[in-house]
């Protein structure tokens, strides 16, 4: 599946980490987007949230946060953080 690493000019100047999204954001001139191929941990799926945006769900169907400390990972409040495999 695809994951998008987004870096904006202001964030780069301030030394902030990139954001990671499950959808390709609309590009503007001050934004750099890298497309990454990832593999979800076993049992994790991508579902549509009520808002229609894609979210990662754990094997129990609970939505997980997508975090970026040290690279893309999914965070489940019940079981902690699992690194995503990036191709």
Q: Is the dihedral of CA 71, 72, 75, 79 positive or negative?
A: negative
**In which band, very low, low, confident or very high, does the pLDDT at 14 lie, cut at 50, 70 and 90?**
very high
Average pLDDT of the residues of the chain: 80
Per-residue model confidence (pLDDT) at position 77: 62
Per-residue model confidence (pLDDT) at position 25: 86
C-alpha dihedral, 60 to 61 to 65 to 70, nearest 10°:
50
Q: CB neighbours (10 Å) of residue 64?
A: 21
42-81: pLDDT as tens digits: 888 998 888 888 888 888 888 887 775 656 777 666 666 6
Overall pTM > 0.85: no
């Amino acid at each position: 599946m695809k994951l998008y690493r987004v870096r904006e000019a202001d964030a780069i100047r301030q030394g902030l980490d990139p954001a990671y999204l499950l959808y390709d954001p609309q590009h503007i001139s001050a934004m750099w987007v890298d497309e990454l191929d990832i593999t979800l941990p076993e049992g994790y799926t991508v579902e549509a949230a009520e808002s229609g945006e894609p979210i990662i769900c754990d094997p129990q169907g609970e939505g997980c946060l997508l975090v970026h400390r040290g690279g893309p990972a999914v965070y489940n409040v019940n079981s902690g953080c699992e690194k995503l495999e990036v191709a």
